[in-house]
Every structure is written in C-alpha cells, then in structure tokens.
Structure 1
Amino acid sequence: MSDLGYVLCAIGAWIHALVKYRSLRKAPPERKAPIRAIIVGSALGGAPMLLGATVIALPLNRVTGIANLTVLLGWCLALAFLCASQVMLLYWHHSDRAWPQARRLMIIYGLVICGMVALFAVSPELENRHRGFTALAAGVPVLVAMLVLYFTTYLLGAANLVRLCWIWASEITDRIWLRRGFRIAATGMVFAAAYGAVCLFAVIGGLVNPALRQWSVNAPAIAGLGVPLVLLGYSIPRWGPPLSAAWTALRQFRRGLRDYRRLRPLWQALAPVNPAMIHTPDSLAERLSMDFRLFWRVIEINDWLHQLRTYQDPAVVVAIEHRARETGHSGNDLAALSEAAQIKAALARRQRGQRSDVAITDVAVAADAHHAFASERRRLVMIADALTDPLVDATLRDVEVSGTATST
C-alpha cells in the first residue's frame, strides 16, 4: 500500500471514531460499552495506519533519535486494535457477561505489548529501516523472540476475529447491514491473518534458511488488501441503512416516472374535457417532486373521467367484453380494455354532443397495492396502456357500424 493509502485509511478510521462518538452521546446506557470499544478500536486502528506511511515514520524516528521506534509503536497499536475489536464483539454479543472475558483479553495483550517493548529495549540498535525491518530483525536472536511473540499474537487475534464475526453474523436476522458489516470485516481480517502467518513463517523459517526472511518484505501488502474491507465492515452498519433508503427512493422515483409517462396518452386525450382543471405547481420543489406530479395527474384524470360519465355508451361495454373474451382476455386486462373503450367512445360522443341516459359504473381493476392511491394509479396506468390497443379501436368501429345500420 502506498503512503497515501495508509494516510487515507487512518483518516477514515478516525472519522468513523468521531461518528461513533456522536452516537455514544445519544446511546442508552446498556449500549455504551460496545460503542466505546468501537471508538477505541477505530482510534487505535488509525494510528498504525498512519505510522505505516514512511513519510510519517522515518521523520518521527529521526526526531526521537530511536531507530525503528515507529515500527514497535505501530505493532503495539495494532495489537491494541485487535484487542479492542474482540472486546467490542464480546460486548455486542453478550454485554451482561462480557467483562471477565474482556479483562482477560486486555491483560493478555497488555503483557504481550510489555514483553515486546522489553525485548526491543534490550536489543542492539539496527539500521533505521521501515519497510524491511522484519527481515532485518529476524537475524537478531533477541528480536526474533519479539517477532515471534508479535506475529503469533497478531495471527491468533485476527483469526479469532474472523471466527467471531462470521459465526455471530449468522445470528443477526433483523439488521441486515450489521450482518453484512460483520462478514465484510471477517473477510478483511482473513488478509490480516494471512499477513501474520506469512511473517511468522518467514521469521521461523529464516532460522533455517535466511532467504525466507525476504517473504516478510512484501507481506504488509497482504494486510493492506484487508484494511479497506475492515474499515468498510466496521462503518457500513452506520451508512448502509441510509444507502438502502436512497436506493429505495430512487427505485420509487423511477417507477413513478415510468407511470407518469405511461399515463401521458390518457391525460392528453382527456385534457380537452376541461383544461382549467390542470393543476399548476406552485414551487420548484413541487415541479421536481415526481410523487406530487403523479398525484395531480391521477386526480386530474379521475376528475375528467367523472365528467365523461354522461357520455358513456352501454353498447360499447357489451361489445368490448364480448370481443375481449373471444381473444382470451380476462381479469384486469378485460377491465382495462372495457374502460379504455368506454373512454374513447365517451370522448367521441362528447364531441358530437350525444349524452347517455345511463351512467356506467367504472369496472374496478384489482391491485396488490396496500395504499388506495397506489391501487388507483395502477388502474389508470392499465387503462392508459389499453387505450392504444387495436382491439379497442376495432370494437368501436364495429359499434359505430352497428349503430349506423340500426339507425337506418
């Protein structure tokens, strides 16, 4: 990973810590412990990322006068991050009995960090090398003990996080984004565990074959692949639900726009009935709101249909139903064709000034929607689609011919 990648990951982890701190202030008392662990884990996770950048690490070593100090500091913070992550999971899963296990973890990791610091302090000073420190230190007996202690603890901690995240994710049924976050974090920790395993093999194998120590030089790139996944997994429960809501809103907008366009032929055919009833949006927000525009389009169409009731022809109903059934139409399709034919016939009779003595009740189109407006909207969309069906025009021609023959 490049220096920029390390810095961006560190900033991302700290931003997540700040966001969770805001949640901590509003959380109920029983939920504060796991949120605190998340904050500590994110803060600790960002620190070793920042120290992983050579532009930060090497100048800090020169300022302190201690060669490779940032390597030790970054490793200690990485172990603290693994500890805090496991504590977070314990408090999330069983907060009422998590403290004994959390205390045991903190003691173990604390002892490991103290041991690493002690071994580093008594070791001979090496060349100030940030990237290849593991390969260089693997040739020093005292530092070999420190490396084995660190990478063993790191590997076990990362592997345990993979296990806990994956197993406990399957227990989550009501929070889909939390379950996804656990599994994404588990996937990221697989790379971290692989990094620890490769480095541990390089250190131990280097005792037999020094060439194996070079495996550790590029091993951090393996862990770097998992860092964005871990950060994503830890943060996605926070921003995932709004993302779902935005996607749902987008899908609703697309459906609304589709229905708005499908209603246009019916709206344009009925508009001459009473153009004064067309609603004009009062603001820019109303013009941009698809729900608002679709609502008024449905209202306007229904108002115009109500005014056409006195122009309906009962003969059209009988003719269209007979012809539609012959061609295999039934149910909603039959009802939509019937109403479309009635509308076209009523518009033609209105132009001729021929009123009907019988007002025909609209045939209801069944819908699965739970909202009355959605049901009416679907009904009108089906009618608008049926308005251009050749069957409707053919039926109206037959009725007109039949009516002409009867009158003569």
Structure 2
Amino acid sequence: MSYVVYLAAAALGLSGVLLFRRPRNPLVLSTSVAITLGALVFLCSAPLTLAAVNDLTGIPNFGAPLTYGMITAYSCALLILLTHWRGGSRARVRRLVLRSVAAYTLLVVAIIVLFAHADADTERLRDLDTYYANTPYMREMILLYLLGHSAATLVMAAVCVRWAREVTGLLRTGLRLIVLGAMVDVTGFQLAKYTAVAARWTGHDLDTLSTNVAPPMASLAGLLCAAGFVLPRLLPSLTAHWRGLTDYRRLTPLWSLLRHVSTSPKPPTSWWDLPPTRLHWREVCIHDALLALAPYFDDRIRAHAHAAALRAGASPHQARVTAEAAMVTDAARRAAAREAPLDRPSAHRLHATEASGTSDLVELSQALHHPLPPAARREDTARTTPEPEEPHVA
C-alpha cells in the first residue's frame, strides 16, 4: 500500500514542479502549493512514513496529527487556489484568502490540541481512524479533520460546477476533472471513512472501508484534481513543444539539402534545448541558406517543374510548392558543385521566406520528398547538356 501512495505522491509532486516556473504569479504559486501539499499528504499517510515519523519523534501515532494537519492545509490550499483562479478585485481575493487561512489554521490548532489530550499510546499505522473512533479527544480529532476536508471538497465542487457552465475549452475540461475528482473523494474516501467510524460508534466492524477502500480512492481523487488544475495551464505548453518538435523533424529534408551552404550558420543549440528553441534556430539557418542560394535560382527550372506538376493534376498551390522545391534543389546542387552564379538569376521570391510562421517552410521541405517531375527533368537535362558542334566545312 505504501508504494501505491508513494507513486501518487511522486505524480503530484512532478506536476507541481512542472508548473512552478513563475513563482511571483499568485495563480501559479497557489496551484503549485496546492499540488505539492497534496503530494505531502500522500507521503505522510503511507504506513512506512508513519512508522518512521513515530520512531523519530518517540511519540506513538505522532504521524496522525501530522497527516491530518497536512490534509487540512491541503483543503485550505484548494480553496485559496480556487479563489485565485476565479479572480476578482484584489481586495476581494485577499479577503477570501485570509478567511480560508484563518479558519483552517484554527482547525489545525484544534487537531494538535486534541491529540495532545488524547490517550493514544498504541501505535496504529493503517487503522487509526477506526481503532480510536471511540477514544475521547481522538474521536473529535478524527471527526474534525474529516469535516474540514469535506467542507473544502464540497465548496470546490460547487464552485467548479457553476463555473464550468460559463467557460469552454480546456478550462471547462479541467473543471470537470476537478469535479470528478471531488466526487471520487466524497464517495470513495470520505463516505468510506465516515461509514467505518460510525460503524465503530454503533458497535459494528466495517474497518475494511477505511483501511482498504479509502486510501486508493483518495489517491485517484488527488490525481484527478491535480490533472484538472494542471491541464489548462500545462497542456498548451506541451502542445507547443510537441508542435515545435514535429516541425523541427519535418524540416530535416530541407536542412539536409542546405546545411552545407557555406554562408549558412550552424545552429548554436544543444540537446537539452527545448523544441521551440531548436526550431527557431533551424528556421534562421534555412532562411540564411536560401538567401545565399538566391544567385543560383533559375526561373526555367521553376517554370518547367510548375508546368509538369499542373499537367500531372496538381493544384495551383501544390504546383507552386513543387516548382520552388525543384528550383531550390537545382540551386543547392549548383552551389555544391561550385558553379558560377547565373548571369540573370530569378527574381522570384520563395513564398516560404515571405510568409510568417513555419508551415510554409515545412511544406517546402516535405515537397523535397517528391522527385522532380519527369518532364522538368528532361527539360533540365536538355538545357544543361551542351549541343554537339556542327562539323566545320572547309
């Protein structure tokens, strides 16, 4: 059981680290704090951790108020995060945050005081809630932390349900994940705990709900809520990185053709650079190389390839891209062979160098996969092969 809980803690902790990039942003900070506290809750509640804390302090069951205090702080952090997420005037946000902090600070103090007055000398690592369900002060402490967590969860779910009706896209998806996580928490963790404790009060034994059902449900709920908070903020960034990596790879044919152009700078990047950075430098190098090849651009190559592509059934757009790819390929071949630039190079400006964004460069790069149309190749061969001289008549 400890290893499952540790896995959930690691997943939550990683999410918090990924988000913690702009600590001065209240929303980012509150999100990272809430997710990190959730990770600490799972870390502290694992039986191995509880045993280590009890041994370290020399106080039996000291891990219980520590875990309950963490759960209470996590509940408060969820409310604070929701307050920042909803926004509003600075005064209103500050007022709501202070109220949440004050209420849950008092709850943490109450948990500590109740534990200090309780008689809990028998160490219980997995079934403390039910074992001490009828013990004075421990009973109240257990009920307090459950009620505090329930209040925060229900408020969070209610706010997210109302807010989800007003928004769309990733934000709505994130809110629905939070609501789903809250419902799993309420029904799978809290209801199981309440039922098991109440069963002890009435002389029955439903401890398995508290020891075997509640922990995995709490882990699942925490992961769902974390995904709901992280998704709207992290997914756009991950999508941008993935798009950058895809475009970077799709530019490989064009870069392979142009990388040996002498005036083309080599990208000053390293393997740890993010995909958008690598893509930016590849674009810069390709643009510089195309500029250096401009004296070799031949309008006849482009015209022949364009006409051949149209005859083959290509659309005007596809024919233009194919023709420009043929002209760039020919120019790169001439430059590599150290031929002299053309006396009258083409004045045509490549669309990929005129348009903004990467999509047109990628399209030009992908066009290099297709061979030069046969008609254009025959015309190019006829143009580059010198005609035999007529015999001299004496």
Aligned to 2:355: 370
CA 1:329–1:136 in structure 2 vs 1: closer, same or farther (change >3 Å)?
closer
- The answer to whether the 8 A contact 2:251-2:365 is kept is no
CA 1:339–1:104 in structure 2 vs 1: closer, same or farther (change >3 Å)?
closer
Query: Do residues 210 (structure 1) and 194 (structure 2) align?
Result: no
- The answer to whether the 8 A contact 2:72-2:149 is kept is yes
Instruction: Please state how far the C-alpha of 1:343 moved relative to its aligned partner.
Output: 10
- The answer to whether the 8 A contact 1:158-1:189 is kept is yes
Aligned pairs (5 A) from 1:185-200: 185-193=178-186, 194-200=188-194
SS, match of residue 210 in structure 1 = coil
Aligned to 1:298: 290
Instruction: Please state how far the C-alpha of 1:11 moved relative to its aligned partner.
Output: 10
- The answer to whether the 8 A contact 1:340-1:386 is kept is no
Number of aligned positions between the proteins: 365
Instruction: Please state how far the C-alpha of 1:75 moved relative to its aligned partner.
Output: 0.9
- The answer to whether the 8 A contact 1:165-1:183 is kept is yes
Alpha-carbon distance in structure 2 between the residues aligned to 1:117 and 1:340: 73
Q: Which amino acid aligns with 1:279?
A: S
CA 1:23–1:171 in structure 2 vs 1: closer, same or farther (change >3 Å)?
farther
Query: Do residues 88 (structure 1) and 81 (structure 2) align?
Result: yes
RMSD: 5.3
Q: Which amino acid aligns with 1:56?
A: T
Instruction: Please state how far the C-alpha of 1:196 moved relative to its aligned partner.
Output: 1.1
Q: Which amino acid aligns with 2:122?
A: E
CA 1:368–1:223 in structure 2 vs 1: closer, same or farther (change >3 Å)?
farther
Deviations 1:109-146 (A, max 9, x none): 45544554555455443521021112212354764454
Deviations 1:300-349 (A, max 9, x none): 553222xx46xx59xx86x985x8766645523455677799999999xx
SS, match of residue 23 in structure 1 = coil
Instruction: Please state how far the C-alpha of 1:259 moved relative to its aligned partner.
Output: 3.9
Alpha-carbon distance in structure 2 between the residues aligned to 1:74 and 1:155: 16
Aligned to 2:340: none
SS, match of residue 23 in structure 2 = helix
Aligned to 1:131: 126
Deviations 1:254-279 (A, max 9, x none): 22114446xx5xx8xxxxxxxxx942
| TM-score computed with the length of structure 1 as normaliser | 0.64
Alpha-carbon distance in structure 1 between the residues aligned to 2:3 and 2:370: 63
CA 1:163–1:299 in structure 2 vs 1: closer, same or farther (change >3 Å)?
same
CA 1:80–1:336 in structure 2 vs 1: closer, same or farther (change >3 Å)?
closer
Aligned pairs (5 A) from 1:324-339: 328-335=313-320
Query: Do residues 57 (structure 1) and 50 (structure 2) align?
Result: yes
Deviations 1:59-84 (A, max 9, x none): 43345454323212311321122023
Instruction: Please state how far the C-alpha of 1:202 moved relative to its aligned partner.
Output: 1.8
Instruction: Please state how far the C-alpha of 1:44 moved relative to its aligned partner.
Output: 4.7
Please point out which of 355, 368, 373 is paired with 1:389.
373
Identity %: 22
Please point out which of 212, 219, 231 is paired with 1:224.
219
SS, match of residue 211 in structure 1 = coil
Alpha-carbon distance in structure 1 between the residues aligned to 2:98 and 2:62: 28
Query: Do residues 147 (structure 1) and 142 (structure 2) align?
Result: yes
Instruction: Please state how far the C-alpha of 1:385 moved relative to its aligned partner.
Output: 6.2
CA 1:341–1:160 in structure 2 vs 1: closer, same or farther (change >3 Å)?
closer
Please point out which of 234, 250, 253 is paired with 1:255.
250
Instruction: Please state how far the C-alpha of 1:156 moved relative to its aligned partner.
Output: 3.1
Instruction: Please state how far the C-alpha of 1:250 moved relative to its aligned partner.
Output: 0.8
| TM-score computed with the length of structure 2 as normaliser | 0.66
CA 1:170–1:345 in structure 2 vs 1: closer, same or farther (change >3 Å)?
same
Alpha-carbon distance in structure 2 between the residues aligned to 1:6 and 1:243: 25
- The answer to whether the 8 A contact 1:9-1:227 is kept is no
- The answer to whether the 8 A contact 2:83-2:97 is kept is yes
Aligned to 2:268: 285
SS, match of residue 89 in structure 1 = helix
Q: Which amino acid aligns with 1:371?
A: S
CA 1:169–1:279 in structure 2 vs 1: closer, same or farther (change >3 Å)?
farther
Alpha-carbon distance in structure 1 between the residues aligned to 2:316 and 2:7: 63
SS, match of residue 127 in structure 1 = coil
Query: Do residues 159 (structure 1) and 143 (structure 2) align?
Result: no
Aligned to 1:246: 241
Higher helix share: 1
Q: Look at both structures and tell me which one has the larger radius of gyration over its CA atoms.
A: 1
- The answer to whether the 8 A contact 1:340-1:392 is kept is no
Unpaired runs of 5+ in structure 2? 271-277, 334-342, 388-394
Instruction: Please state how far the C-alpha of 1:148 moved relative to its aligned partner.
Output: 3.6
Aligned to 1:23: 23
CA 1:258–1:206 in structure 2 vs 1: closer, same or farther (change >3 Å)?
farther
Instruction: Please state how far the C-alpha of 1:15 moved relative to its aligned partner.
Output: 9.9
CA 1:13–1:337 in structure 2 vs 1: closer, same or farther (change >3 Å)?
closer
Aligned to 1:353: none
Aligned to 2:195: 201
Instruction: Please state how far the C-alpha of 1:293 moved relative to its aligned partner.
Output: 4.7
Instruction: Please state how far the C-alpha of 1:56 moved relative to its aligned partner.
Output: 3.5
Alpha-carbon distance in structure 2 between the residues aligned to 1:281 and 1:63: 63
Deviations 1:160-219 (A, max 9, x none): 323434654665679x5x776655555544443331121112222444462323210122
Instruction: Please state how far the C-alpha of 1:102 moved relative to its aligned partner.
Output: 4.0
